Structure 1
Amino acid sequence: MSLDLEEQEKLDTLKDYWNSYGNLVVGALAAVAITFAGVQWWQHNQQQKSAEASALFTALQNAQKTNQTQIVTDTAKTLTGQYASTAYAARGALIAAASNVQANDVKTAKAELQWVIDNSKEDGIKALATLQMAGILLDENNPSAALALLDAPHEEAFADLFSDRKGDALVMQNKQGEARKAYKIALEKLPAGSPYRKVIEIKLNAIAGVSTK
């Protein structure tokens, strides 16, 4: 079909444009396609990782129930090593730490808790790891290190437990006056119906009237 002069000019202009910028257009479209494919791959990869991590976490929980500490430890190590970006990694490390404390492998437990403290993006999980670590340090008669951990910023929801553990550390340092203040703060923060109030009251009564340092 023959083209009139105006149509021919338009076609020639389009050809000239394509000859000059065609490669750029193709490149831009390819970049968009690659980016989209990359996002799709990342999302699929994250979903797959999460599913795999979930399965490992379930296996870890089952191993803990049957006191298979080595399996718990190895599974937690896989979670923190290969699935660190998932929420299961820190939770697995917390469970593994508790299992290793029970098995008297404090060194491994401390390493697992430290990983949580250093890597978890969830303040609540990090607070739980901090409390567990502080408890281990107190068992090791190291109240100064425990207090250094407990003085770090933490979620208000855990203020009662942090204050209680601070009181324990201060008692070990023979600072009964400061310990009483910490225990009283813990009582103030605890819910009225919490059975743990009785425990703190016993601690307060135990140091009542003891000279301060």
Structure 2
Amino acid sequence: MASHLDLEEQEQLEQVKAFWKRWGNLITWVLTAALAAFAGWQGWNWYQRDQAAKAGAMYDEFDRALNAQDLDKATAAAGDLKARFAGTGYAAQASLQVARLQLDKGKADDAKQSLAWVAEQGSEPPYRDLARLRLAGLQLDAKAYDEALKTLDAIKSPEFAALVADRRGDALLLQDKRDAAKAEYQKALAGIEKTQNYRSVIEAKLATLGVPTVVEAAAAGAMQ
């Protein structure tokens, strides 16, 4: 009986050896790759958390300089964030905010550069499109109308569609393209919720182009 079991075990052992000889290397490579992928995923998550924590600490430094209206320190801190943590939202936020401070301090060209960086390298599409919207405004101020329209064309986020149409209307009106401007303003008005105060601004622009406001239209209808 014992001899029979020994022979059966020996046969199973030979089968295992044969199987491992044929498939062992492949199994080892698959397991190694799986473990490496898991380790890499864990390491990447740790790296992301570490980067976010460091970027957050640096952003706090930037925020203090911004609140103090210290342009030099705020610009330097924003530059450090872009250099070391360009892929984080902190870098994009800092560049958007420092652009506003630069503009307030009369540094329009510096503000354009800050916004252009976000437009090209911002971590998320909404950041990039917000930067483009603001950049187009500065380009209009500089009478670079075609350049502003090109910047607006690059904005794809649907939540900015009405504001893009409004700004396109501004660019076209400044080029004395009144009918095209009117169409853009009407598109912008249709896309702005009725509860938004900015509707009155767009209505005022349309009024200058001979389009009556809602109140004027209602009054005209009542008189008929």
Which TM class, normalised by the smaller chain length?
0.7 to 0.9
1:39 counterpart (23, 38, 41): 41
Q: What corresponds to 1:29 in structure 2?
A: 31
Following the alignment from structure 2 to structure 1, what is the Cα–Cα distance between the partners of residues 116 and 178?
29
| 2:82 corresponding residue in structure 1 | 80
**Alignment partner of 2:91 out of 89, 92, 114:** 89
Query: Partners of 1:200 and 1:27 in 2: how far apart?
Result: 64
Shift of 1:180: 2.4
- In the TM superposition, 1:189-208 aligns within 5 A as 189-208=191-210
Structure 2, unmatched stretches of 5+, are 212-224
TM-score by length of 2: 0.78
Q: Which residue of 1 aligns with 2:219?
A: none
C-alpha separation in 2, matches of 1:166 and 1:28: 56
The percent identity for this pair of structures is 36
Residue equivalent to 2:165: 163
CA–CA separation in structure 2 for the residues paired with 1:152 and 1:4: 77
Alpha-carbon deviations, 1:100-159, whole Å to 9, x = none? 222222333222222222233533222211111001101111111111222334223222
Cα separation, 1, equivalents of 2:44 and 2:82: 19
Match in the other structure for 2:9: 7
Alignment of 1:109 with 2:100, yes or no, is: no
Compared CA separation, residues 200 and 16, structure 1 to 2 (3 A)? closer
What residue in structure 2 maps to residue 48 of structure 1? 50
Q: Which residue of 1 aligns with 2:154?
A: 152
Task: Spell out, residue by residue over 1:6-48, the C-alpha distance to the aligned partner (whole angstroms, 9 max, x if none).
Answer: 3234335545655676555444433332222111111111111
Greater relative contact order structure (CA < 8 Å, 6+ sep): 1
The separation in 2 between residues aligned to 1:120 and 1:169, in whole angstroms, is 25
**RMSD between superposed Cα atoms in Å:** 2.7
Counterparts of 1:52-63 in structure 2, within 5 Å, are 52-63=54-65
Give the Cα separation in 2 of the matches to 1:77 and 1:207.
44
Alpha-carbon separation, structure 2, partners of 1:21 and 1:181: 70
For the residues of structure 2 that align with 1:29 and 1:5, how far apart are their CA atoms? Answer: 32
SS in 2 for 1:141: coil
Specify whether residues 35 and 151 from structure 1 end up closer, same or farther in structure 2 by C-alpha distance, changes over 3 A only. Answer: closer
Q: 2:188 aligns with which of 155, 169, 186?
A: 186
> For residues 5 and 151 of structure 1, do their structure 2 counterparts lie closer, same or farther at Cα, with a shift above 3 Å needed?
closer
Q: Please, which runs of 5 or more residues in structure 1 have no aligned partner? A: none
Query: What is the rounded CA distance, in whole Å, between the counterparts of 1:32 and 1:184 in structure 2?
Result: 57
Aligned-partner Cα distance in 1 for 2:190–2:175? 23
Q: What is the CA–CA distance in structure 1 between the aligned matches of 2:154 and 2:29, rounded to whole Å?
A: 51
Quote the Cα distance in structure 2 between the aligned partners of 1:198 and 1:156. Answer: 21
